[in-house]
Amino acid sequence: MVERNASAIKVVSRKSLCFFFTTTTLLFIMSWLFVLRSTRSDSTQDAISQLISTTFDNSGSESSSQSQNSESSFNNRAILVNTKTQTHDIPKCNTDTTTSNDNNNSNNSSIIIINNNKVVLKVFMYDLPSEFHFGLLDWKGDEKRKIVWPDMKTNVPHYPGGLNLQHSIEYWLTLDILASEFPETYPNNARTVIRVKNSSDADVIFVPFFSSLTYNRYSKTGPHERRSRNKVLQEKLVRYLMSQEEWKRSGGRDHLILAHHPNSMLDARMKLWPATFILSDFGRYPPNIANVDKDVIAPYKHVVASYVDDQSTFDSRKTLLYFQGAIYRKDGGYARQELFYLLKDEKDVHFSFGSVQKGGVRKSTDGMRSSKFCLNIAGDTPSSNRLFDAIASHCVPVIISDQIELPYEDVLDYSEFCIFVRTRDALKKKFLIDFMRSIGKDEWTRMWNRLKEVEKFFEFQFPSKEGDAVQMIWQAVARKVPFIKLKTNRSRRFFRSVYGNKDKGHKSIPAPANFW
């Protein structure tokens, strides 16, 4: 009897150990599947499945069934993730395709897709008095009748030419928002932005202040003025925004403010720092006020005409390296004068002083179109309009500006059509000229062809067209929306404990050094 019981115990123990071993092995492999799920590649999926079937084929029908259910569930989750990603993808430069980016699009539910490949950003725009925008272009609104915007179908105000144009993005973006209410304006309804009347429905809040034009036209104090009109308008804008419920609700984090000219908004920016700025570079902004994580870099509008039907070749462009502009600059622009002395005597280099006066634009146009490479050297700030003039001329840009930030660089590889040289290297004797002469016909032709492909991304026009500068800027803003929402939501964690009753209003506080 005792022997029979002992034998039974041995059998039970053996079965228990076998079951325990099988269960432990199953849990171990399942845990590794869970860890590897987010990092696995397609090539490892078959190997994982094979491992499951090999391990459990000999472990009994129950374990095999669990394995199959687990594999099926695993694959279904992958399908769900792919489906979700395709629904919310944001097109990059090539608007005919989409690219997966789960991290950037996790909060993108309010950004919708039209025709499967066009991002539409929902924008609420303040009805600011005309003195802040089109009134600066001598357009007269009617404040009593609450007419603050021109009729987009019959009366589009003209923007002044010359160097004013290079910082005119505020004009083009505002026109695009106004025109978005008339879908027939756009070919194939190819809108990238839609104006909404309820700010709660918007992805971003647009502030239509023509800050660059204000600086260019009204930064000097008149004979009977204590303060310039530029300063007065900035002060009025700050008071207006701080009083708005939209600003109080988010602390300004979902607001878009245009300050493309490096000297525009210099007085107001310290108070409006939570907003997303649209800038040309960060040259005159401290990093806690403006930075690449929070803000958007937009291109200048090129001043030279676009090179239509360019049939030039490597051999037909006789000048190797071209620069015409201001040579003696302050701050980071010291490299210009150093390079002038290094290159001025090279026979296949054009390096001279020039301006828009006395046919300067025409000379630059002819010079860039007859040159293989065009120098873009840091001046008073890291960026300049010269880069975008070179792109429009299909003259391969040579960028010597260590601190430059470039438009839509998160989706556009500039190394495909630009040459980058560190300043310290460029200032070495013979380094730059020898380097440029080492670039052969095939490599130059490849970059020249790429320039002709990407030039549309830097064209400002009204109405906007698919993939032009206006729509590319809106897409860059759309890619910031998840970040804006994250920061807005995080800022509300301790709102009640710090500010008490929300009816008491929002207090403006200085920007912490590492807030963004």
| Mean pLDDT, each 10-residue run in order, the chain (516 residues) | 44 59 69 49 41 40 40 32 31 37 39 48 95 92 84 88 88 95 77 92 96 93 88 96 94 95 92 95 91 95 93 96 82 79 92 71 92 93 94 97 95 96 95 96 97 96 92 95 89 65 48 44
Q: In angstroms, what is the C-alpha Rg of the chain? A: 30
Torsion of CA 337, 371, 366, 389, to 10 degrees: -70
Rounded-to-integer distance, Cα 378 and Cα 336, Å:
7
Q: What pLDDT does residue 128 have?
A: 94
Question: Residues with Cβ < 8 Å from 179, sequence gap 6 or more?
Answer: 152, 185, 186, 462, 463, 464
Q: What pLDDT does residue 328 have?
A: 73
Question: Residues with Cβ < 8 Å from 64, sequence gap 6 or more?
Answer: 56, 57
Rounded-to-integer distance, Cα 435 and Cα 511, Å:
44
User: Are 386 and 325 contacting, i.e. CB atoms less than 8 angstroms apart?
Assistant: yes
In the chain, CATH 3.40.50.2000 sits at 319-458
Q: What pLDDT does residue 457 have?
A: 97
**DSSP track, 79-134:** HHHHHHHHHH----SSTT-----TTTTTT-TT-EEETTTEEEEEEEE----GGGTG
Residue with tokens 């039974």: 8
Rounded-to-integer distance, Cα 431 and Cα 411, Å:
31
Q: What pLDDT does residue 115 have?
A: 39
Rounded-to-integer distance, Cα 255 and Cα 245, Å:
12
User: Are 307 and 319 contacting, i.e. CB atoms less than 8 angstroms apart?
Assistant: no
514: amino acid identity, one letter: N
Distances (CA, A) of 90 to 119, 144, 281, 320, 390: 6, 42, 24, 39, 29
Beta strands in 158-231 (DSSP E): 193-195, 204-207
Q: How many CB atoms lie within 10 A of CB 132?
A: 20
User: Coil, strand or helix: which one is 197?
Assistant: coil
Rounded-to-integer distance, Cα 365 and Cα 484, Å:
40
Q: What pLDDT does residue 191 have?
A: 83
Q: What pLDDT does residue 161 have?
A: 80
The third-level CATH classification (topology) of the domain covering 319-458 is Rossmann fold (3.40.50)
Q: What pLDDT does residue 386 have?
A: 93
Q: What pLDDT does residue 90 have?
A: 35
Q: What pLDDT does residue 496 have?
A: 59
Residue of 239, 195, 208, 196 lying closest to 126 (CA atoms): 208
Rounded-to-integer distance, Cα 256 and Cα 384, Å:
22
